[in-house]
Amino acid sequence: MAKVNKKDLERQYKRLKKQSKREAQLSMDRVARTAALQVLRGAQDRVPARDGILQASLMIGHAENVFELVLSGLRAEIKIGTSLSYARYVEEGFTQRKGQFVPGYWDREKFIYVPDHPEGMVLKGKRIPGVHYLARSEAEVDSVMDELIKEELDDLARRLFPDG
């Protein structure tokens, strides 16, 4: 009959408990980063790109973000946003003020805004719908979040119990 040393078992249990907490936190951080990167890529793909400035300005966790989407898990919080103030209007939409003069000129089918330009256009006061590039990307990632978590938990189990 094999002898079991109770003190060795207790030490092993404490080590495994400590290691599993650390590994679980790392796993949760990995899932949050993976989800954030997928939301970022999806948002960049959905942004209407006239000149690519808004698309290039989207970043994860930048200190100068003025418009952002916050993804929060149990303890992980990831912020995806941009420092461009007009990003909110592209995301959510806006209503033009009827009769407002906008300086600039038309180049074929595209209006070019130029401050202090003597020519321009007068707005009709219509509603411009939002693109919802962040919200749609977040919803897309939410739909596969269970799969991301399951893959990470399976990987965590393999790391914690390599023999099992």
DSSP state, residue 83:
S
Which has more pLDDT, 158 or 5? Answer: 158
pLDDT higher than 70, residue 76: no
C-alpha distances out from residue 52 to 10, 48, 55, 81, 91, Å: 59, 8, 5, 15, 15
Q: Name, in order, each residue with C-beta under 8 angstroms of 109's C-beta and a sequence gap of 6 or more.
A: none
Look-up of token digits 């939409």: 93
Tell me which of 1-10, 88-97, 145-154 is least confident.
1-10
**Opening angle at CA 141, ends 140 and 142, nearest 5:** 90
Summarised one tens digit per residue, pLDDT across range 119-134 is 999 999 999 999 999 9
Predicted TM-score (pTM) of this structure: 0.73
| Mean pLDDT in residue range 46-75 | 83
Which has more pLDDT, 145 or 6? Answer: 145
